[in-house]
Each structure stands twice: as structure tokens, then as C-alpha cells.
Amino acid sequence: MKKLILPSLLLILFVFQTSPVVAQNNTSVRERVKTQIEERLKQAREKLASKAALRKEKLETAKLRICEARKSGIVRRSTRLAERAERQLNNFGSKLDRVENFYNNTLLPKGIVIENYDDLIADVEAKKQAVAEAINSAKTSAQNFNCSGDDPKGQLTNYRTDMENAVKALKDYRTSIKNLIVAVRTAVAKIATGSAN
């Protein structure tokens, strides 16, 4: 029994003496493992961030290639739309010239005067100027389109807005010309019924 007591006492002493060391070693091991895990997480986050940046760069490159491939078509269509608006402006201008010639060469010699003729002409000219400015703005937007710029999509949006303004200005110009035509027709109707002057 003496033989058993001595080793068991030694074992108990050894356990009590080494238990703080073991506990201390366990804490340092835990801290080491914790720092290793944190480092691995940090590296994984950095790797994901770099992959995301690479994907974004590839996406930007792909978008640029697509935009460059479509650029000529975009510029061509945009320019055609602006030219079409300009042709409409010229068409309305020729109609205005015919109405003015009729008034000046036919009605005025007969003594028929439209009371608000000057106001109507001033309104038509103001609307004509607004159309010209809107069309020039749209043409400039179309010609300045650039895929490598800061915001090509924004440039297209600006062009679209400019064209919408041009179309609205053309409608207003057309309405002004119609008002002038109605005034001239009313004066002609007075001639036909004999109630002129």
C-alpha cells in the first residue's frame, strides 16, 4: 500500500502544481487560435474585396466595349432625330412665309387688317427661336456623346430630355402658326361674306 500511496501523492502534487501552467497554456493557445482565426477572416475579406474590385473592373470594361460598339448607331440616330426636327422647323417656316405673303400681298392691299397680327407674328417668332435653341442643344448633346466619359447613360438621358424639349417647342411653334392661320382665314371669311372693315 505504501507503494501505491507514494505515486498517487506525487501524481496529486504534480497535478496541483501544473494545473495553473496548463490553464495558462490553454489561455495562450486560445488567444493564438483566436488571432489566427481573425487573421484568416481578414485575409478572406481582403480576397473577397479584391475579387469584387476585379469583377467591377471587368464589368466596366465590358460596358465600355458594348457602348463603343453601339456608339456609332447612337450618334447616327440622335443626329437624324435632330435633323428631322430641323426639317420640321423649316417646313413650318415655309408655311409661315406663305401665310405672311398672303396677308401682306392679298389682304393688306384690300384694306383688311388683322388687329392682333403683330402679336401673333411676335408669338410665332418667339416660338421659332425656342425651337431653334432646343434643336441646337439636342444636336450638341448628340455630337458630344462619348462612351469613355463620366456618365454615358446620363449623356443619353440629357439628349432625350433635349429632344423632348425640342418636340414640345415644335408643337408650340405649330400651334402659334395655326393661330395665325386661323386669324387670316377669319379675315378671308369676312371678305367672302362682305363684312370687311
Taking only the tens place, the pLDDT of each residue in 72-113 is 887 888 888 888 888 998 999 999 999 999 989 988 888 888
Of the chain, the percentage scoring pLDDT greater than 70 comes to 84
The domain tally of the chain equals: 1
C-alpha cell at 16: 496541483
Per-residue pLDDT band for 1 (boundaries 50, 70, 90) equals low
* pLDDT at residue 18 tops 60: no
pLDDT of the residue at 3: 60
Whether 3 is in a domain gets the answer: no
Average pLDDT of the chain is 81
User: Which residues span the domain enclosing 147?
Assistant: 19-193
- Asked if 125 and 184 count as a contact pair (C-beta separation under 8 A), the reply is no
Per-residue pLDDT band for 159 (boundaries 50, 70, 90) equals confident
DSSP assignment string, 53-86: HHHHHHHHHHHHHHHHHHHHHHHHHHHHHHHHHH
Whether 4 is in a domain gets the answer: no
Buried b (16+ CB within 10 A) or exposed e, 61-98: eeeeeebeeeeeebbeebeebbeebbebbeebeeebee
Whether 1 is in a domain gets the answer: no
75-81 LR contacts (CB < 8 Å, sep 24+): 75/142, 75/143, 75/145, 78/138, 78/141, 78/142, 78/145, 78/159, 78/163, 79/139, 79/142, 79/143, 81/138, 81/142, 81/163
pLDDT of the residue at 55: 73
Per-residue pLDDT band for 175 (boundaries 50, 70, 90) equals very high
Mean pLDDT of 114-122: 92
C-alpha cell at 44: 478572406
pLDDT of the residue at 119: 93
* pLDDT at residue 70 tops 90: no
Whether 107 is in a domain gets the answer: yes
Whether 133 is in a domain gets the answer: yes
Whether 12 is in a domain gets the answer: no
